Structure 1
Amino acid sequence: MRIDPPQSRDAMSPPPRALNVFISYAHEDEALRDKLEKQLAILRRQGLIETWHDRKITAGREWAGRIDAALRAADIVLLLISADFLASDYIYDVELTLAMERHEAGEARVLPIILRPCLWQRGVFAKLQALPKDGEPAISQTWGSLDEAFLSIAKGIAKAAEEIAAERTVRTAAGTPTQTVWNVPFWRNPNFAGRSALLAQLGATLSAGRPAALSGLGGIGKTQLALEYAWRHRDDHPVVWWIRAEDPATLAADYAALAAPLGLPEAQAREQHVVVAAVRAWLERNTGWLLVLDNAETRDAVRPYVPQGGGGAVIITSRSPVWGGLAERLDVKVLDPDEATDFLMRRTGDGDRQAAASLAEALGYLPLALEQAAAYIEEASDSLANYRKLFEEHHAALLKAGQPATEYPDTVATTWALAMERLDTPARALLNLCAFLAPEEIPLEVIVSQAAKLPEPLDQVAANPVTLNATLTGLLRYSLIGRKGDDLSVHRLVQMVVRDRLDEAGWANWAEAALAMVTAAFPYDSDYPETWPTCARLVSHALQAAHWVEIRGLAMGQIGTLLNQVGLYQSGRAEFDAARAQLERALRICEKTDGSDRPIMASRLNNLGGVLRGLGDLAGARALYERALRIDEKALGSDNPEVATDINNLGLVLRDLGDLAGAKESFERAIKIGEKTDGPNHPNAAIRVSNLGIVLHDLGDLVGAKENYERALRIDEKTYGPDHSNVAIRLSNLGLVLRDLGDLVSAKVHIDRAISISEKVYGHEHPNLATRVNNLSIVLLGLGDLVGAERQLKRALRIFRSAYGDQHPRTQTTQENLELVLRKMRDHPDP
């Protein structure tokens, strides 16, 4: 390491930092702890150590968080060991665990001190060199007096402290004093938690000689990360200089201010650019320094201040994500859920993990929000659970209250305010729209395709790729949004602050715009597998937009339409509980907005009836279908296509209930109405003809069933092509009747084809696939392939259990079929 000698050494050299000594002890040994501290008093006066123990926590302050923070900041941890120490669950499970972790990581040195006789040799610390000499207890006949024992202990502690202090100096090159220049403006944050992977990545980048740009949303912890790195490595750098980079004037002034402590002759120059050039030249000639450019606006703003040559380390913190060509960008994300939960518990001393996890999730795992909440709880002597309840209804006030630690100059409510004020009108409009959608995976293509549904000026901006990219750039500059491919993301607290900043009219305008956009984009035939990829991308945004509009009582009819489509999608995916919830909401809204006797109400009843049937609530499904039929017959007449649909659905549930005659009559009537209104080759005819085939099959009319299945198959293949989900249904049904007619080979061919189509359409875990797999097992059983039948039944049973649970009729029937096959295999083992 090469360092130009400064011209004023004394002015540059602050006194070495005292080592932090943490004393872990049982309160029964408090008198012995006091006696030890008296022996250590001379080391404190010399500035070699500073001691800390839990009695230094002032009244009214939470204790668990203070202990943890002090333990994490310790250079030396003294374990005052006795039987009471070993018996303390808190000491052994919390303090000792963390102490040993930090010892193994080389972050602190643990010194076991044996106060009184006990089985200390069985402790996790037994491998460490214990004090007094040879690990003899302080209270024992080995020592002439207690003072003699504690003198031996104090000598051991002094030796360890001097070794650690010496190691600090050795870390830098010979002849170079440790930390000659240091201007970091913040104390080390005792509540810093997590980020170990990111700190390691930061260290690796800097060690490779590359500047690192910590990029992310305001409040995400960029400055805290840089601060923690600076403090952890304060003994590795002879110069650590912190620069406020948010403003060009401040940036230049802070950079030039380094000239004086470096003793550069240009420090007195009138022209600031001369001083800046001298500082940069010094940095480029020397090694080992650390420069932090905090809160930089843009890459171009700080480029002139980044030394070239890799002689030191440069950390840049910024909301801007654009750092190519100057620094390696490190994305700073929110905390891991477990890290955030642990932080809240440790920071507040509240052991309610469930409340901590719930609050951490509500705060989006944002470090600033977590610290602010903890500060509020600490100041108000409140609990995590109470704060979580308050946050539900008073989040706007709470995001302004609870002043965080001094390392965080602003609250959540204010930390983004300046950035939002700097946005132009289109960028603010896009952020307003995104505030009423789900926070993750917002499809940019939907905003573009539905531009006409959006308010001014976003409608024109979204329709023009050039202006849209310019608008996105403005938001990305402050990390108010994230972008990955064609998906946008917005932190949920940013969304919350944006909504809170809107007046009543603005709130309604943008909430309804989000709803209109998603409703227009959500597929109408959402129960068809072909639409599912689109539905999957939109469902979270649909539910979020509907929520914000519904709580204000706006656009209720549109909400009902969207929830109905979401419910149909979830029903098609066999997510019946979720589908039921959305369809029941849609039904309630329909009754309020359209009344209880309109055809649209009948449509909602039919959809919910299908879900109840899927859940096995046949009586509930029948009641809904019959009500829908009454509404449509009264409103539309007895020969309307909608009436045919109602009658067909009723026939399905009658068949499930065992009323085959009633089901046959329903299907025949539905077919007659449909042929009259839509013609004999309409896709609806295929559905009803196939259903009639099922009932004829149940009644033993195999030839009639086969004719109906074949007719339905011809219609669907002509309408949809050979690989449609409806074609799979017809093939599977036809295969079963062929099996009963004795043509097992043809039956297997048809069902194998049905399974192949279903796997492509639904994937490998859908109940519709399980139905076809179950049908294949029946054919295999007829062919005498018990092993194959067993394999297929186990596959179907696993899928049904996952979708419906153990009590569903389909699950139970499949279980019974499997048991039958297993009995046959036992009774007729292979020769």
Structure 2
Amino acid sequence: MRTLREQMSHGPTAVLPHTLRGMGGVGKTQLVIEYAHRFKADYDLVWWIASDTPLLIPGYMGAMAEKIGLPSAKSVGIDEACRSVLDALRRGEPHARWLLIFDNANTADDVKAMIPASRPPQGHVLITSRNARWEGVANTLVIDVFDREESIDFLRRRAREITPAEAGELAEELGDLPLALEQAGALQTETGMSSEEYLELLRQQPLEILDANQPMEYPGSMTAAWRLSINALEDELPEAMQLLRCTAFFGPEPIPIDIFRWGGVEAGPIMTPILRDPILRTRAIALIHNLALGKIDDRAMLVHRLVQRLLRADLGEEQQADFRNEAQLLLGAATQLNPDEETNWGIFSRFVPHLEPVGAVESTEPRLREVALKVLRYLYLIGHTESARTFATRFRDTWGAASGGEDRHTLNAERHLADILRQAGRFRAAFDLNKATLERARRTLPDGDELVLEIVNSFGADHRALGLFREAVAHDELSRKQHLDKYGSDDPRTLRTMNNLALDYALVSEYQRAVEMHTAVMDGRSRPGVGSKLEYLSSLGNLGQAARLSGDYAAARALGADALDYGRTEFGGAHTSTLSAGVDLSIAERLLGRLAKALELARDMYDLYESTLTPGHPETLAAGLCLANALRTNDEHDEAYDLTRNVIERLPRIYGSDHPFTLAARGNLALLERTRGHPERARDINRDVLDKLDTRLGRLHDYSLTVALNLSNDLHELEEFEAALELDRQTAPQAEELLGARHPLTLGCYANLAASLRSVGKTDEAARLLEDTLAGYYATLTARHPDTVLARAGGRLDFDFDQPRI
């Protein structure tokens, strides 16, 4: 109302009408009535012209003649009366302050002859219309539905017994449309009908319930308002009516316009003639928009849910089945879209709310199922795990019930479900599902089938997640060979298997091999058209992690900074891949001795993980370990201890108590026990952890050697110098064998061995060993690095565990 008043008060002096535009039932007529009443003191004459029948408009205008002192239409005829009225309005005689209201005018051509060619400053013209063609020929104010709070307040004022929750449910089902809300509220008040009863009737008999209880101040019911627009659409272009009926079987969310273009090839017998003719298709879409039966915005059509409901109710069962099939074929026409390409995410996001309304769960249409599976992939990639899991479970159960679970689409749905379960931290469930799915796929599909290879690739990640690191290497080496044979070395699918194998190598401490393979993957994905942006970000992070684990902290920091910047730019700061890059960068900063920066970044990432995922999600726990390690190195030992305990309490629920990640994290807790003054507790924990890691991984593994190094520090703290020396003499050459002489862990082991030698009086041997060790530090970490400084001073070095990517 305020906007309308401002437009009317400050508009140009030349006659340019003011048009209120919107779909039937939004309250255009009521707003004009309210305006005329509220500001009636500003006008000497207000004249209402019902304009939905253009032939009658001259008669309504001519009837004004007698009211303003001119010869009546009866005496001079309608045409002459109209001319005299328009002349009087133009001159402002006898009234300069007048308001003409043309209610429900379809087009400008219907009323332009009845609008004075010029007017006095206080002469105004108001028009209500459903037609978008008024844009550009009038000052147009678009009237939309209520927002949800307005709808709830509106209903509760009319039906005082209704609760806010009931009002919200009614508003949702009625699409916040004012006329429908008015009818619903009045019907409940006058009949005592409950909200539950009304909603049931709305679902079963929408035409009848929306035709009931017409408000006195409105010229027709919701059904009547709808039929007025429907009749106009069908009269002008019957094909547009067919297209609109098809949209009734989508959801009440924006429908991408592109599916009508793609559907020219894939549509059924009703829609094919319309969609294959681009001019006819464009005219039909434009007319639906112009008659306010659908809103076109951002290359999408939004059809109000009540319009959809009424359209469906107006069709017989056989017609409904035909148009639902057309809708399924249209959505299924998007099979060419790749969800791994981020440029397609916008349109996939618009597919999500239409899957259920078009019947994708129950459909046997192959192309629609393919699109549904692509939507699953999209939801997985953007991290919407719960929605993806719900759809995947329903697809598997419904499709599988009809086929016995061995058809291609069911197997593919199960493969996606396994990925989703793994992403949510349900590792055993993912492993078991993929194992069973792979067995059935190999039994029913040909050797080398693309889906079989996809399941094989997914199953490798399940091995990693369960801590079966060596088994993962063997599995993924075979997978890589199969992909190479089928697709060649440059195919994105082969690069994914190489990426996974590189992750395996890192988990068995073969860090240099991991670096080499991640580098090859990075090179492949850097070529135009080979990898997606998300895969490129993943490669940046994976290569950075491998570089860090191999001891190249500077390269890890550079790659981590690039990954974080790229992730924030392409996906936003809260995307899980961006957060993972931030955690990796924090670790690299910490290992380079930039402790304050590392702590600040670790806090930020942990807070974002907690708000984006859950406190118990595997990635949140990994970020928690990173933060705890940063706290310890910044001498915040108590906070680090509390956080580490919290993480360790949760890890067994996800990985199990004997998983290498759980055991290695317990080693971090032992380290904090010692730094907080409890070396006995630290020793006992580390002994238990080392025994179990030796069993799971063997001693020649980074995790085992890290715990062994820290255990020797516990022993040294407890003045068990000979025991510490014996363990150091074992650990240092083992680290050199596994990681190389210049790896930071190897250098730390030798620095500690030198300290142990001094503690038992072997100072000469200690000095020679320390000199060689410092040369290694100077060549790798520089003379000013905190580890170098501590080793040079004769101190003992501690190492901790950061959970890697899987």
Q: TM-score, normalised by structure 2?
A: 0.73
Q: Distance in 2 between matches of 1:805 and 1:202?
A: 53
After the TM superposition, which residues 303-322 of structure 1 pair with which residues of structure 2 at under 5 Å, given as runs? 303-311=112-120, 312-322=123-133
Residue 630 of structure 1 corresponds to 439
Q: Among 596, 606, 612, which residue is 1:787 paired with?
A: 596
Q: String of CA shifts for 1:387-407, please: whole Å, max 9, x gaps.
A: 234434443432222x12222
Distance 1:714 1:345, change over 3 A: same
What's the secondary structure of 1:483's corresponding residue?
A: strand
CA contact (8 A) 2:473 2:505 kept: yes
Residue 816 of structure 1 corresponds to 625
Q: Distance in 2 between matches of 1:405 and 1:214?
A: 20
Which stretch shows the higher mean deviation, 681-690 or 331-340? 681-690
Residue 696 of structure 2 corresponds to none
| Aligned amino acid, residue 278 of structure 1 | S
Distance 1:337 1:745, change over 3 A: same
What's the secondary structure of 1:488's corresponding residue?
A: strand
Q: Among 203, 217, 222, which residue is 1:412 paired with?
A: 222
Distance 1:757 1:723, change over 3 A: farther
Residue 774 of structure 1 corresponds to 583
What's the secondary structure of 2:134's corresponding residue?
A: coil
Residue 609 of structure 1 corresponds to 418
Q: Distance in 2 between matches of 1:592 and 1:247?
A: 56
What's the secondary structure of 2:573's corresponding residue?
A: coil
After the TM superposition, which residues 159-558 of structure 1 pair with which residues of structure 2 at under 5 Å, given as runs? 197-198=3-4, 201=7, 205=11, 210-286=16-92, 287-311=96-120, 312-323=123-134, 327-401=138-212, 403-422=213-232, 423=234, 424-456=237-269, 458-484=271-297, 486-546=299-359, 554-555=363-364, 557-558=366-367
What's the secondary structure of 1:406's corresponding residue?
A: coil
Q: Distance in 1 between matches of 2:114 and 2:102?
A: 9
What count of residue pairs does the alignment treat as equivalent? 630
Residue 644 of structure 2 corresponds to none
What's the secondary structure of 1:349's corresponding residue?
A: coil
Q: String of CA shifts for 1:206-239, please: whole Å, max 9, x gaps.
A: 9997421112212221111111111112233221
Q: String of CA shifts for 1:64-106, please: whole Å, max 9, x gaps.
A: xxxxxxxxxxxxxxxxxxxxxxxxxxxxxxxxxxxxxxxxxxx
Q: Distance in 1 between matches of 2:519 and 2:56?
A: 81
Distance 1:598 1:512, change over 3 A: closer
Q: Which runs of 5+ in 1 are unaligned?
A: 1-194
Deviation at 1:679, TM superposition (A): 4.2
What's the secondary structure of 2:358's corresponding residue?
A: helix
Q: Distance in 2 between matches of 1:598 and 1:473?
A: 42
Deviation at 1:198, TM superposition (A): 4.8
Q: Distance in 2 between matches of 1:639 and 1:247?
A: 68
Distance 1:630 1:524, change over 3 A: farther
What's the secondary structure of 1:778's corresponding residue?
A: helix
After the TM superposition, which residues 1-80 of structure 1 pair with which residues of structure 2 at under 5 Å, given as runs? none
Q: String of CA shifts for 1:239-278, please: whole Å, max 9, x gaps.
A: 1221222223421122111111222135553321111111
Q: Distance in 2 between matches of 1:793 and 1:283?
A: 74
Deviation at 1:734, TM superposition (A): 2.4
CA contact (8 A) 1:602 1:627 kept: no
| Aligned amino acid, residue 436 of structure 1 | F
Q: Among 746, 750, 755, which residue is 2:564 paired with?
A: 755
What's the secondary structure of 1:269's corresponding residue?
A: helix
Q: String of CA shifts for 1:636-695, please: whole Å, max 9, x gaps.
A: 477666444433322212221222233223223323433444445543333233323223
Q: Distance in 2 between matches of 1:364 and 1:205?
A: 33
Q: Which runs of 5+ in 2 are unaligned?
A: 638-785, 787-806
Q: String of CA shifts for 1:619-638, please: whole Å, max 9, x gaps.
A: 11111111112112323477
Which stretch shows the higher mean deviation, 272-281 or 661-670? 661-670
Q: String of CA shifts for 1:322-367, please: whole Å, max 9, x gaps.
A: 2357531221211222222111100112241111122112111111
Deviation at 1:808, TM superposition (A): 0.7
Which stretch shows the higher mean deviation, 456-465 or 203-212? 203-212
| Aligned amino acid, residue 243 of structure 1 | I
Residue 647 of structure 1 corresponds to 456
Deviation at 1:754, TM superposition (A): 3.2
Q: Distance in 1 between matches of 2:537 and 2:182?
A: 56
Q: Distance in 1 between matches of 2:503 and 2:534?
A: 17
After the TM superposition, which residues 99-138 of structure 1 pair with which residues of structure 2 at under 5 Å, given as runs? none
Deviation at 1:751, TM superposition (A): 2.8
| Aligned amino acid, residue 68 of structure 2 | L
| Aligned amino acid, residue 753 of structure 1 | D
Whether 2:615 is the aligned partner of 1:806: answer: yes
Deviation at 1:427, TM superposition (A): 1.2
Q: Distance in 1 between matches of 2:270 and 2:610?
A: 51
Deviation at 1:771, TM superposition (A): 1.3
Residue 596 of structure 1 corresponds to 405
| Aligned amino acid, residue 217 of structure 1 | M
Distance 1:206 1:588, change over 3 A: farther
Deviation at 1:742, TM superposition (A): 2.5
What's the secondary structure of 2:339's corresponding residue?
A: coil
Deviation at 1:758, TM superposition (A): 3.4
Q: Distance in 2 between matches of 1:691 and 1:555?
A: 34
Q: Distance in 1 between matches of 2:354 and 2:13?
A: 43
Which stretch shows the higher mean deviation, 660-669 or 612-621? 660-669
Distance 1:377 1:200, change over 3 A: farther
After the TM superposition, which residues 140-155 of structure 1 pair with which residues of structure 2 at under 5 Å, given as runs? none
CA contact (8 A) 1:480 1:494 kept: yes
What's the secondary structure of 1:265's corresponding residue?
A: coil
| Aligned amino acid, residue 775 of structure 1 | D
Q: Distance in 2 between matches of 1:683 and 1:233?
A: 68
Which stretch shows the higher mean deviation, 522-531 or 740-749? 522-531
Q: Distance in 1 between matches of 2:574 and 2:585?
A: 16
Q: Distance in 2 between matches of 1:482 and 1:419?
A: 14
Distance 1:461 1:718, change over 3 A: same
Distance 1:728 1:266, change over 3 A: closer
Q: TM-score, normalised by structure 1?
A: 0.71
CA contact (8 A) 1:213 1:329 kept: yes
Deviation at 1:826, TM superposition (A): 3.4
Which stretch shows the higher mean deviation, 705-714 or 310-319? 705-714
Whether 2:515 is the aligned partner of 1:706: answer: yes
Q: Distance in 2 between matches of 1:254 and 1:640?
A: 74
CA contact (8 A) 2:89 2:119 kept: no
Distance 1:637 1:502, change over 3 A: closer
CA contact (8 A) 2:86 2:116 kept: yes
| Aligned amino acid, residue 460 of structure 2 | G
Q: Distance in 1 between matches of 2:346 and 2:352?
A: 10
| Aligned amino acid, residue 409 of structure 1 | P
